[in-house]
Structure 1
Amino acid sequence: MKYMLLVCGDDTNDASGMAPVEPWVEELGDRGVRRHGHRLALPADAVTVRVRGGEVLRTDGPFAETKEYVAGFDILECDTLEEAVEAAAKHPVATIGAMEVRPFWEDEDAQGQIRRLDAELTEAARTGDVERRIACYAQDAEVVAGGRHHRGAEALRKALAETSVEPVTREVLESRIHVDESVAFGHALVRTDGRLLRVTTGYRDTGPRWLIAHEHATEVSS
């Protein structure tokens, strides 16, 4: 399960004797516990945005005046909350500030969403529905297929409209997916209308759903 670790600094404490963070990052990275993370700029560089009565209100600085502030974040993948708490307790900032450990909202796993997207693409090809196929791609997607390079969903739409006058058979023979937070990579062997293709796909998590951001298909010699 994934956990968000909010690293909270405290201006009232002396950080001069704090241990360096790099060994903690390296150890948890080697163990596959720390998936991602980064430091944040100081609260003085923050901008707080509110909308009231349709008017956008912008205030320089953090949303709350406090000695404690979020100095950075880390995304952990642990089997239990206790394991995440143990990892947080070893963070050097825990000795002078505070660490907030919060589980991600549980949803369908990323691999399941991506495989469902691929099934949608297969069904759209089978029915010859161009718009349904385009809906599987990001607007800025880069697609290389049949020796042609399509930049953006609109270019791909025009190409499909020219060639997809009939439904296309599409069968995924084998597929491997690697997910890393908001991006994922897939390698698949696909049979379509008698041709065998090796397809490499880059996916992007757009928030509401995963979409194809890059696709490169090459024909496999028989």
Structure 2
Amino acid sequence: MKYMLLVCGDDTADGSGMAPVEPWVEELGDRNVRLHGHRLAQPAEAVTVRVRGGEVLRTDGPFAETKDYVAGFDILECDTLEEAVEAAAKHPVATIGAMEVRPFWPMDGEEEGEAEIRALDAELTDAVREGDVDRIVACYAPDVEAFHFTTGLEAHGIDAFRKAMEGVFASVTGPVTREVLEFRVRVDESIAFGNALVRLRGTLADGEPLDDVLRVTTGYRNAGLRWQIVHEHVSSTKTTSTTTEERS
């Protein structure tokens, strides 16, 4: 179960004797309890936004002027609320401020996210088979970073990636099949990472057969309405085998 830990400071408290936060972060990180978090700027730097009658009303400053304020946040993954409360009690700010522990709204977010990413990968397989560059590019984010070790393909941004894909399909004749042999994915709220073995088969423009098994490491980002690929690193298992033989 995931919990949002809101670190609430008190601008009237004396924090000079407070223990450093870094050991708490390191300990919970090593135990895979703290997933991520960050400190926030002071309330004076906040902007409060309201919409009334279609008009956007902007107010500089926090939603409410109080001596207590949210100084940062951490996302914890714990088996029980009691475990999350125990972790919060060990946070140094708890000695001068307060820690609000709030469970995430129950939903099958990770399961849904994994299903959506697997559907995205299936769409990529279909698009490769059809040789449809537009459909392939649609699977990637505008700021995608892609690197292909064996072909030297290195693309920074969607325009460079499209050009690289067009070059790939210009180097083959006939359809290309993309077969996913293994695919593992780990999903968080807004990011995910996948590791796959993918077999590509086809015929090169010079008539030589294309048959390669690739190791693919992929980074995904939830763009709000759908997942997109933001990072892709591809290497050939043939290259790895050759390197191993040369070393031996």
TM-score (norm 1): 0.84
In the TM superposition, residue 190 of structure 1 has moved relative to its aligned partner by 0.8
Name the residue aligned to 2:109: 108
CA deviation map 1:5-50 (0-9, x unaligned) = 1111123434344333233222212211011112112111212223
Q: Which residue, 219, 231, 235 being the options, matches 1:218? A: 235
Give the aligned CA root-mean-square deviation in angstroms.
Answer: 2.7
Gaps of 5+ in 1: none
Pair 1:147–1:19, CA change in 2 (3 A): closer
Say which structure is richer in helix. Answer: 2
Structure 1 residue 189 displacement after superposition: 1.6
Q: Which has the larger radius of gyration?
A: 2
What code does the residue aligned with 2:159 have?
E
SS of corresponding position for 1:168? strand
Distance in 1 separating the partners of 2:129 and 2:4: 41
Amino acid in structure 1 at the alignment position of 2:102: R
Does the Cα contact within 8 Å between 2:109 and 2:189 map onto a contact in 1? no
Between 1:150-159 and 1:184-193, the stretch displaced more is 150-159
Distance in 1 (CA, whole Å) between partners of 2:131 and 2:67 is: 59
Deviation of 1:158 after TM superposition, in Å, equals: 4.3
Alignment of 1:147-186 (within 5 A): 147-161=152-166, 163=169, 167-178=175-186, 182-186=190-194
Partner in structure 1 of residue 196 of structure 2: 188
- Structure 2 residues without counterparts, runs of 5 or longer: 202-210, 242-248
Q: 2:134 aligns with which of 125, 131, 142?
A: 131
Deviation at 1:210, TM superposition (A): 2.6
**Larger mean Cα displacement after TM superposition, 172-181 or 120-129:** 172-181
CA distance in 1, matches of 2:30, 2:61: 36
Partner SS for 1:75 = strand
Which structure has more relative contact order (CA 8 Å, sep 6+)? It is 1
Instruction: State the SS of the aligned residue for 2:183.
Output: strand
1:201 aligns with 2:235: no
Q: 1:107 to 1:56 in 2, by over 3 A?
A: same
2:13 maps to 13
Determine what percentage of the aligned residue pairs are the same residue.
Answer: 73
Q: Which of 143, 148, 152 is equivalent to 2:146?
A: 143
Q: Residue 60 of structure 1 aligns with which residue?
A: 60
Matched residue count? 222
Normalization by structure 2: what TM-score? 0.76
* C-alpha distance in structure 2 between counterparts of 1:218 and 1:160, whole Å: 16
